[in-house]
Structures are given as C-alpha cells and as structure tokens.
Amino acid sequence: MQRITVLGATGSIGKSTLDVLARHPQQFQVYALTANRQWRLLFEQCQQFKPRYAVLLDADAAEQLQTQLQQAGLATEVLQGADALAQVASAPEVSLVMAAIVGAAGLKPSLAAAQAGKRVLLANKEALVMSGEIFMRAIQAHGATLLPIDSEHNAIFQAMPAGGNGDLAAMGVRRILLTASGGPFRTAPLASLKEVTPEQACAHPNWVMGRKISVDSATMMNKGLEVIEAHWLFNASADQIQVVIHPQSVIHSMVEYVDGSVLAQLGNPDMRTPIAYALGYPERIESGVSALDLFKIARLDFEAPDVQRFPCIALAYAALRAGGSAPAVLNAANEVAVAAFLERRLGYQSIATVIERTLAKVSNTAVDTLEQVLAADALARQVAQEQIQIC
C-alpha cells in the first residue's frame, strides 16, 4: 500500500488524481489532501478518502473545515498554513506526492518533497521554471524520483529511452517536439484579440482546466513555460526544443532521433492518462480514460506557431537562454498579468506587454538559493504591478 499526499486536491489535476486513486483502493491510500480555501470541496473529498490530514492555507477556511469534520465524526486532522504543506509533503509515511498547486505557491512544498526523497509527480511547472537547477539538484542529492505530469512532458518521458542518463546525444535524440493545441484563438483574426474577454480565453477547445492555466494556453505562455520545464527535465537546450501546434491534441509530444525516427505518444486529451502512468510507473494501471478512436479523429494537423499571435513563446525562449533569474521573473510577471486580466484590469494583449517590460526592467541575477529565487519573484511582481498601471 502506497501513501500519497495530493497538493492542490481541489484543482483540476487534484480531482483527476483522486478519480484515478479511487479506482485502485488496494494499491493507494490518501495520507493528506490540501487546498487554498475551498473547504467545502475538500470536506467532500475527506468524506470519500478519509485522509489523516487536510491542509488549507486560509485560516477561516481551515476553521470551517474542522467544524464540519467534527460534526461528521471524521478523524481527519486539519492543519493550516504554508509550513503545513511542506509537512505533509515530506512526512515519513508518504511515498508519493502529487505536486499540483498552481503557481509559485507550489514551489516550497514541491521542493520539500524532493528533499525528503519522495516520488514527486510534478504538475506544478513553476517549480522547474523558477528554480530548475535548485530543484533538480535536490532530486539528485536526496534520491527522489521525478515524474512529469504535464501531458507533453509525460509523453516525452514515455518516448525517451528507458534508463537514459540525460545525455541526449548519447541517447541518439536530435530534438524534442513539444505539441500545443494553439488554444481558442489559433485562427481568430488578430484584430479581434484586442477585445478578448476572460470567458473567451478560458474556453479551451480540447482541455478542461483552471482559469489561470486556460489563459496561459490561450496566450501560449503555458507552452513557453513548458519549454523551460523540458530543458530541466531532459537536459535539452533551447535549440533542441521545438514547439509544434497540433490542434487535435491527440499527439501529446514527440521525440526525434538522429536516425530519422520520430516517436510519439498518443491518447485522448484527458489528464488521467499521465497521472495514471506516473502513479503506476513502471507498470501501467487503469485510468478511466476511453480508448482513442483513430477512425473518428481521421486526421492529424501540424503548424508552426505564429510569434505575432503568440509573443509569449518568444519571451519564454529568451528567458531560458538568458538563464539566472529571468525565468522566475517571466513566471512572476505572467502570474500578475494573468490575474489582472481575469479581474478585467488588463487587456488580453497587454499580458505579453507587461511580461516583456518587466523582464527589461528587472536585472538578471544568479539564483543559487531558494531565497534568491523568491527575492527575484517578489521584485518581478512589484514591477509587473507597476506596468499594469501604465498599460
């Protein structure tokens, strides 16, 4: 029996993880569930999975949950605050940690899991974008196992040689082909992007996701962050990672080899597939995802991304090549800009403008410690807020 902590249990990845876990009660036991403030949904999850701990960042929500659990006669103990996230991620009883907290808030508990030598199922791409060298160093130093949950990186992992040592040339790998759907505005007239609303940006054609990541998919910053993530996961240079728009979202990514072979992982656009793969690795377990019907799909299309339509991709590549604190600044500015857009304080096309100006105004520095990463993050957020005021 493997015990698992699910960081971000009330988000889309967290809910999909619990759906898979519920199919394998003899194999997995939920040790802890965490959320920001959605105590009602977390209460329902506690009723079903009966974890030892439930963690909420919001103090009022934690108090509400504790009351409900006591009234229901459930023994789950409620913890509150950021330190509690790290506690349940690094607990000795835990062997698996699903790191699915969106944004920079997921960095500390994900790193705590790595430092405790856990099998880390990483859905929080910001952990690698902000502090890739620190995070990968912790994985190696503490004997942790890192399995990517993003459908693209999970597909690459599956298409890579088993037991690879991170040397792409030695493995015969020429490049990674990172697929992207193109989001809801792939074919929209450029002039129409000035009037994009949060509702339109969140209406992804293929995937059901949270609001922030849906906007990132629309701007393709999500793909830019995944380029940086792929660099750290697979020891690939910027020139070895190519973004390919694939509107059907059936091929989740590909690996091109020096002999001309291209290996691809295909499947329906359902996050339970990569989640089940990582939970069962190296075995395969049932995910609940329906079989792929190739005859129904009938065709697979590919195209190069339009940098004029998706300027965030170029910004992400530039940050990766710059290194240092630039990726953390990129991520922070994006989070601030997307939040402002969702609150209708910033236009859709100004998201990229705010990020570009923030990168230009915040000096690029070395980030050898978590404190340096967080300092760069905080400064970038301050500058991004200033830029929003003048956009």
Structural domains of the chain sorted by starting position, each given as residue range(s) with its CATH number in brackets = 2-148 (3.40.50.720), 153-267+301-308 (no CATH), 323-391 (1.10.1740.10)
- State yes or no: pLDDT of 154 exceeds 90: yes
State the pLDDT confidence band at 26, using cuts at 50, 70 and 90: very high
Structure confidence by residue, pLDDT tens digits, 309-361: 999 999 999 999 999 999 999 999 999 999 999 999 999 999 999 999 999 99
Confidence of residue 391 (pLDDT cuts 50, 70, 90): confident
| Contact indicator for 279, 96 with CB cutoff of 8 Å | yes
The pLDDT mean for the chain works out to: 94
Torsion angles phi and psi, residue 24, rounded to 5: -135, 60
pTM given for the model: 0.91
Put residue 295 in one of left, alpha, beta given phi > 0 → left and psi -120 to 50 → alpha.
alpha
Alpha-carbon gap, residue 221 to 95, rounded angstroms = 32
Mean local confidence (pLDDT), 220-241: 95
Read off the pLDDT of residues 100-109 as tens digits, 9 standing for 90 and up: 998 778 889 9
Answer yes or no: is pLDDT of 307 > 70.
yes
Whether residue 166 has pLDDT greater than 90: no
Alpha carbon distance 26, 23 (integer Å): 9
Of 305, 287, 296, the C-alpha closest to 250 is 296
